[in-house]
Structure 1
Amino acid sequence: MKTTKNTRNLILVAMFAALTAIGAFIKIPIPYVPFTLQYLFCALAGVILGSKLGALSQIIYVMVGLAGVPVFTEGGGLSYVFKPTFGYLIGFIVAAYVIGKIREKIKELSFIKAMGMLLAGLFFIYLFGVIYLYVSYNLYLGQPMSLYFAFFNGFVLCISGDLILTAFAAYVAIKIVPIFKRFGYI
């Protein structure tokens, strides 16, 4: 029984790492930070896998990309750490953990609770993303950027699409979590 559960967890963690990679290639290019489906799969990883395994799926995704596999929106490799958008990838790890942790504490998931849980995770993606965007432009890219400009381009231009994804993920969560609970997967 334990081997079956471990195997299932291994498969799900790998699947969500792969889905996040696929989400990187489904993108709408906007200046500085492209809109992708990565957040959707990161959020669902936290919802379905929980805090530790959800975060692990995102850690694997980031590690595979840093190892040189071109799974990020603009390729891969260790030098990706110097891309202004790398902070969002760090945020995915934290967001999956936060979303999973909140979901683990919720007894009965409603749409409102799911939205709150997902928005908490999204907050951390933008927190890490905007700060990293600002720091990267000002410290090592040598292109001065105001905090307002980083906030506008890294948050304001992107948030509407992510709010739509949040609502969609919340809808999926309220449908799928009871099924996973019924079968003892979460």
Structure 2
Amino acid sequence: MQQKRILLTALFSALVIVGAYIRIPLPPVPITLQTLFVLLAGFLGGTRMAVASTAIYLLLGMVGLPVFTSGGGLGILFGPTGGFLLGLLPASLLAGIAGNMKQKSERPKRYLLLCILTGLAATITVYLVGVPYLKYTRSLSWQTALKVGMLPFLIGDLLKVAAAAHLAKTFHERTEQFMA
């Protein structure tokens, strides 16, 4: 069981890295799929696995491996995207609540709703950390920081929450069918 947890944690870290490279360059913050995989790690693995996989991703980037959208190194965390990257850690914790609760809830609709609610809370958390960080690193007004750091991402992030919740629910339904 421990080996399975380690393998899945590494897999989710790798998926977050892949998500960084699936991007639409939009200055100063690109659109990526990192949050989709952070949400999935939480929904499927719970808080421990989600936080661990996200922390591994951040640590790999901080030591210089080119896992962030703009490369690697500690300096990236001090740039305009640093707050969004750091916001992934508390977001993974929030998304993991759904994964933890899955073991206690046998009703798929309740689990789906829990994934959507925790996914929205996680997404808001990324904005709550990222937008002020962007504002101060770029000396922007609040209006401009919201305009470039949040507004272009709202629809895509809502779609990511919906996709991650649907994928997690489907995964759990299929594994339950397989195990039955």
TM-score higher than 0.5: yes
Distance 2:47 2:90 in 1: 9
Aligned Cα root-mean-square deviation (Å): 1.8
Match of 2:126 in 1: 125
Q: Scaled by the length of structure 2, what TM-score is found? A: 0.89
Residue 175 (1) aligns with residue 176 (2): no
Separation in 1, partners of 2:98, 2:84: 20
Aligned to 2:43: 47
CA distance in 1 between counterparts of 2:148 and 2:87 reads: 17
143, 150, 162: which one pairs with 2:145?
A: 150
| Closer/same/farther in 2, CA of residues 175 and 18 from structure 1, 3 Å limit | same
**Deviation (angstroms), 1:109:** 3.9
TM-score in terms of structure 1 length: 0.87
Select the residue among 67, 71, 79 that pairs with 2:67.
71
Shift of residue 91 of structure 1? Answer: 1.2
For residue 93 of structure 1, report the CA deviation from its aligned partner.
1.1
Aligned-partner Cα distance in 2 for 1:179–1:52:
23
Q: Describe how 1:72-151 pairs up with structure 2 within 5 A.
A: 72-105=68-101, 107=105, 108-110=107-109, 111-138=112-139, 145-151=140-146
- Listed as ranges, the gaps of 5+ residues in structure 2 are none
CA contact (8 A) 2:95 2:118 kept: yes
Match of 1:162 in 2: 157
**1:27 is aligned to 2:23:** yes
How many residue pairs get aligned? The number is 174
Unaligned runs of 5+ in 1: 139-144
- The answer to whether the Cα contact below 8 Å between 1:103 and 1:117 also exists between their aligned partners in 2 is no
Return the alpha-carbon distance in structure 1 between the equivalents of residues 5 and 127 of structure 2. 28
